[in-house]
Structure 1
C-alpha cells in the first residue's frame, strides 16, 4: 500500500539543482547522433543474437553462446588434430569438440557417461541470480570478507563519471596516500610492483604488471614512462582495479617467473550445501601467454592430485591436440612436485565455499605463496577445462544438473526440436 501524507515534502532547491544538472549532462552524453547510432547498433546486435539463439537452439542457452558454439566448432573443424573428418562430425552431432574424443576416450558406446561441450554451455549459469556477486573483481572482497587474509590487497579502482576518469581509494590503500593518479605511481615506487586488472572480464585480457626498479617504470616487463602508465589508468574507457601483486612460492616461480601461476580448484555442492573439490590443476604461463597463465593464450596445464597435492603430467595444446610437455618450454624446469601449503589451501577453499550458501558451482583461482596462498579471483562459472579432464565426481554432478534443467524446460518429456539441439541420452 502507498502511505498517505497530510502535506507534500518537496526536494530542497539544492537537490533539485543537482538532479537537473545530472539530467542535462546525461542528455548531452546520450542524445548526440553518435551516441544514438552506437546505442542502436548495440541493441540491434543483442536483439539479433537473441533471435538467432531462439531460432536455432533449445531454450535456456545464454544467447552469446549461440555464436561462440558455431565459432568454436568451425575452429575445431579446421584444426589438424588427428581426428578423422567423419569422427569430427559425429562429435559435433553429439555436442563435443572433436579433440575431446581422444582426450576422454569417447566412443558411441560410452558417450553418455560424459558431459559434452554443448551441454556444459547450455548449463550456464548454475548459480542463477547470485552469479552477479562474482561478476566483477571487487565484490569478492565483500562476499568473502571473513577470509580477507587470503585475498590480495585492493588499493585503487578507476571509474568513469561524466565522461572523466576518477580514482577511487579502496579498503587496503595505505595510510597517507591521496586519490590522484600520481599516487598510483608513488605506490608503485613504494611497493616495487602492482597488478592492474580489468574490473570485468576473464582469461587475463587487459592485465598489466606495473613495476618500478632502477628508477624507471615497466608495464609487463617493457619500459614505460609515468605518463604512459597514467594514460592507461586514466582512460575513461578503462576500469582498472589496482591491487597487490602476488608473489608466488619460489618453487612455482622457478617453473616460470613471468606470470602468477595459479591453481584452479573447481568446487561443487551436489546437495546444495556441502562443498566438494571436483578438479584441481596448475596453470603455468609461457612466453606465448606472456604475463598471464591461461591455456587459451598458450599457457600450460599441470595435473594436481586433490588428495596429496602432488603435481605432474604437464600438458599443452598444440594445434588442437593435447600433448605431453613435462618440461617448461622456456625454462626447461621439470614440472613435477608436491604443491606447497596444499592442505591449508584445500581447507580454506572448502570453508569459503561453505560460507557462500547461495553459490553452488565455483572456480577458485589460488596463487600459492611462500607460507600461505592468495585468492585473486573466484569464477561464477568456470570454463570447461581445455586440457585437464573432468573427474568422474564432477561429471556426475554436471549430469545431475543437466537432468534438473531438462525437467525445468520440459525436455525430459519432450526433447527440443531445434536445428542445433541437445544430444540424445
Structure 2
C-alpha cells in the first residue's frame, strides 16, 4: 500500500508539471488518462487509436519495478550491485576509488584501497573520478572530480582539498569510481560528456534465455553537462539491434534544453549521429546478454548502462536499472510491437487486462 501511494503521488506530481508544459485540450488529456498515459507523453510518443495499445502505458510502467522483486534493491543500490556482480564479471565493472557511508570513508570487504580520503586522492593523481550517490537514478548528483596542473576540480571548477573532503562526506552515501574513457566515435560526437548505451534486456519466461528488447545511445548536451541523461536535456538515438547503426537523436520536449526535436547530427560539433555504427556492436550485445543470463534469476528485467571503451567493443557496465523502460526507449517506437516483449510483460502481470482485452 505504501509503494502504491508513493507511486500515485509521483504520478500526480509528474502530471501537474505536464499540465503546465503543454497546451493539450482536456478532451485529449482525458483520452490519454483513460488509456493509462500522462499528458507529457503526447509530445513524445505517437499515441493514436491505432497505436495506443502497442505502447507500455505509464500505469503499466509503474508495475515494472516489481518484476525484479525481491531483489530489486540489490540492483538499485550501486554498492550492492558491484559486490554481487564483481566476483563473476569484475572485468566489466569500473574500479572503485572510495566508499563514503554515514559521512566517512569506509573499508568495504572485496574493494581494496577505498577506505580513506588520502587513498582516494592517490588514485585521483592518475585519472579523473566520478562521485555518485550509492542509491540514486537518472544522473542525480553525479559529480566529476579531477586534478589539473595540481589544482583539484569539481565539475570543472577549482576546489580546495578541505572543501572537496567536506563535499564528499556531506549528504547521501557515495560511491567514488574511475572515470571511464569512452571510444573515439562517442567522444567525437559529444566530447564533453560520458555517452552511454542503455540496453534493455528481458529473460524469456519460456526459454530462460535473455534477449535485448531495445537499445538506445544517449549523448550529453550543454544542458545536461557531463552526464547524458535524457530527462536532464540529453539526446537519445535508437540502435539497430542487428547492425549497431544509430537513428536520428531526439531531445526530450519537456526538458530545459538548448537542443530540440530530432537531430541527424550533434548540434555543437556537427558530427553525424544518424547512420553512425557503434564499433564492436556484436561483441557489446553478446557481453550484455551473457551478463543478463548470468543474473537472470535475480533480475529478469534490467536496463544496463554501458560505456564503449574502444573500437573492439570493450565495455564498462556502469549500473543496472530495474525501472528501465524510460520514456526515450519508446520515443523510438512502442515496445509492445515485439511479441516477445508483450509475452514477457504479460507473464509478469504488468499489462492492464482491461485496456488490452485480456480479461
Q: TM-score scaled to structure 2, two decimals?
A: 0.87
> What is the CA–CA distance in structure 2 between the aligned matches of 1:140 and 1:403, rounded to whole Å?
25
Q: Equivalent residue for 2:10?
A: 68
Is the contact made by 1:115 and 1:395 (CA closer than 8 Å) also made in structure 2? no
Displacement after TM superposition at 1:264 (Å) = 0.2
Shift of 1:341: 1.9
Q: Distance in 2 between matches of 1:261 and 1:393?
A: 28
1:188 Cα deviation after fit: 1.0
Partner residue of 2:122 out of 169, 172, 186: 186
Give 1:213-252 correspondences, 5 Å limit.
213-235=148-170, 237-252=171-186
1:400 Cα deviation (Å)?
5.0
Against the structure 1 CA distance between its residues 294 and 170, is the aligned structure 2 distance closer, same or farther, given a 3 Å change threshold?
farther
Per-residue deviation, 1:384: 2.8
- Structure 1 equivalent of residue 252 of structure 2: 317
Deviation at 1:62, TM superposition (A): 3.5
Superposed displacement of residue 258, structure 1: 2.1
Q: What SS does the aligned partner of 2:303 have? A: strand
Once the two structures are TM-superposed, the CA of residue 210 in structure 1 deviates from its matched residue by: 0.7
TM-aligned CA deviation for residue 385 of structure 1: 2.5
Gaps of at least 5 residues in structure 2 are none
Q: CA deviation at 1:105?
A: 3.2
| 3-state SS of 1:318 partner | coil
Question: Structure 2 CA distance, aligned partners of 1:380 and 1:364?
Answer: 9
| CA 135–391 in structure 1, closer or farther in 2 if over 3 Å, else same | closer
Show the counterpart of 2:287.
348
Greater shift in the superposed pair: 334-343 or 294-303: 334-343
Distance 1:379 1:206 in 2: 16
Match 2:304 to one of 348, 361, 364: 364
Alignment of 1:74-89 (within 5 A): 74-80=16-22, 83-89=24-30
Q: In the alignment, which of 66, 74, 84 is matched to residue 143 of structure 1?
A: 84
Distance across 2 between alignment mates of 1:245 and 1:66: 36
The aligned counterpart of 1:117 is 58
Paired residues in the alignment total 347
Deviation of 1:342 (Å): 1.0
SS at match of 2:83: helix
Shift of 1:403: 6.5
DSSP 3-state at the match of 2:71: helix
> Are 1:385 and 2:359 matched, yes or no?
no
Cα root mean square deviation, aligned:
2.8
- Compared with structure 1, are the counterparts of its residues 346 and 114 closer, same or farther at alpha carbon in structure 2 (3 Å cutoff)? same
Q: Conserved in 2, the CA contact under 8 Å of 1:157 and 1:170? A: no
How much does 1:304 deviate?
Answer: 0.8
Structure-1 separation of matches of 2:64 and 2:110 = 35
